[in-house]
């Protein structure tokens, strides 16, 4: 089943989807982005010709639009089938699926994108753009220039000569959802598989609570909080906050972060979830070859 994840920085849950991709970027091109106060990558994108503000989210399996934005576009047809997902905390959810006509970010175009619609109002945010739109299109997130670059075969080859090529693990479900993972060495002790989530917000490091003892975290000294579900307040997630010594990409010890403020979450369905910026200021995703290039 597909997974879904929500945290206090994201203003709505993450979903995923795409049945048919016909995306093209004929030459290297780019779109600008801004960084929100919470650390999200915000881009301008158009669905069926209507422009909106979207979070570019490598951890959102399915592309999402709000009900308010959906009312502005024509041609988002509801599909017969739906999708059952689990939030990262294990909470089960079932959503409807829709097919739009076209999604575009600058010169990048995807025909017949699949998405879901949420009945919520989130200020200036109209939705999330997921990785499913780019499973055939390599791209770079450049934090220095604040732009997303759609790479060609030639530019991608040059980038791979310059940077560290990190293997990714791809999790695609039913040809509708796509998440990416990387192995991370925690405290030079455990090797765990983390979901790379650019939409998690700034300085977000989350680990499954079952690893607390193995990592030597003293739960008595850790800060303990309870986070109620935004959809069912009776469901509360237990979170312990504590500092860890280090995180480093397996096989690439230079890609690391020290003295890491970490949240340990009981019932997390992954080993861990990590934001993107600490990995590098220029990160290229080559999803067709299950690789990430860090410069």
| C-beta separation of 34 from 42 below 8 A | yes
For each of the domains in the chain, give its residue range(s) and CATH number, in order of start: 2-159 (2.40.70.10), 165-294 (2.40.70.10)
Please give the Cα distance from 85 to 87 (Å, whole number): 7
**pLDDT surpassing 70 at residue 7:** no
* Single pTM value for the model: 0.86
Give percent above pLDDT 90 in the chain: 70
Helix/strand/coil percentages in the chain, nearest 5: 10, 50, 40
DSSP 290: T
Q: 7-16, 56-65, 154-163: lowest mean pLDDT where?
A: 7-16
Of 134 and 28, the structure prediction assigns the larger pLDDT to 134
Mean pLDDT of the chain: 87
Q: 39-43, 203-207, 232-236, 272-276: lowest mean pLDDT where?
A: 232-236
Please give the Cα distance from 252 to 183 (Å, whole number): 10
**pLDDT surpassing 80 at residue 14:** no
Q: What is the pLDDT of residue 286?
A: 98
| C-beta separation of 12 from 120 below 8 A | yes
Task: Give the model confidence (pLDDT) of 227-256 as tens digits.
Answer: 776 656 777 778 899 999 999 999 999 999
| C-beta separation of 55 from 125 below 8 A | yes
Alpha-carbon dihedral angle through residues 106, 113, 133, 48, given to the nearest 10 degrees: 10
Please give the Cα distance from 182 to 130 (Å, whole number): 18
Q: Report the pLDDT averaged over residues 43-65.
A: 95
**pLDDT surpassing 90 at residue 74:** no
| C-beta separation of 120 from 25 below 8 A | no
Distances (CA, A) of 221 to 11, 104, 215, 225: 30, 49, 14, 13
Counting Cα atoms < 13 Å in the Cβ hemisphere of 244 gives 27
DSSP 222: S
Region of residue 11 (phi > 0: left; psi between -120 and 50: alpha; otherwise: beta): alpha
Task: Give the model confidence (pLDDT) of 185-215 as tens digits.
Answer: 999 999 999 999 998 889 999 999 999 999 9
Q: Choose among 211, 210, 285, 280: nearest CA to 248.
A: 280
Q: In what order do the strands lie in the sheet with 29-32?
A: 29-32, 147-150, 139-142, 282-286, 291-294, 164-167
Contacts of residue 94, defined as CB under 8 A and 6 or more positions apart, other chains included, come to 82, 83, 84, 85
Let me know the angle formed at the C-alpha of 286 by 2 and 34, rounded to the nearest 5 degrees.
Answer: 80
């Amino acid at each position: 089943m597909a997974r879904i994840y929500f945290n206090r920085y994201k203003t709505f849950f993450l979903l995923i989807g795409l049945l048919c991709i016909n995306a093209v970027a004929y030459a290297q091109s780019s779109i600008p982005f801004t960084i929100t106060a919470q650390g999200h990558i915000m881009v301008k994108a158009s669905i069926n010709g209507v422009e909106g503000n979207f979070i570019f989210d490598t951890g959102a399996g399915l592309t999402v639009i709000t009900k308010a934005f959906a009312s502005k576009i024509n041609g988002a047809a509801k599909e017969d089938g739906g999708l059952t997902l689990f939030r990262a905390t294990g909470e089960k959810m079932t959503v409807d699926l829709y097919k739009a006509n076209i999604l575009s970010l600058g010169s990048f175009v995807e025909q017949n994108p699949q998405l879901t619609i949420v009945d919520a109002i989130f200020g200036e945010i109209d939705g999330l753009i997921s990785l499913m739109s780019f499973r055939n299109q390599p791209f770079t997130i450049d934090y220095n220039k604040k732009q997303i670059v759609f790479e060609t075969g030639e530019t991608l080859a040059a980038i791979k000569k310059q940077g560290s090529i990190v293997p990714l693990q791809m999790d695609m479900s039913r040809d509708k959802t796509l998440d990416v993972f990387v192995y991370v060495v925690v405290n030079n002790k455990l090797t765990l598989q983390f979901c790379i989530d650019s939409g998690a917000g700034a300085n977000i490091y989350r680990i499954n609570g079952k690893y607390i003892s193995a990592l030597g975290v003293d739960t008595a000294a850790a800060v303990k909080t309870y986070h109620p579900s935004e959809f069912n307040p009776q469901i509360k997630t237990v979170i312990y906050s504590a500092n860890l010594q280090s995180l480093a990409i397996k096989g690439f010890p230079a890609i690391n972060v020290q003295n890491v403020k970490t949240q340990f979450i009981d019932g997390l369905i992954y080993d861990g979830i990590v934001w993107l910026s600490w990995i590098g200021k220029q990160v290229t995703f080559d999803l067709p070859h299950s690789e990430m290039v860090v410069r």
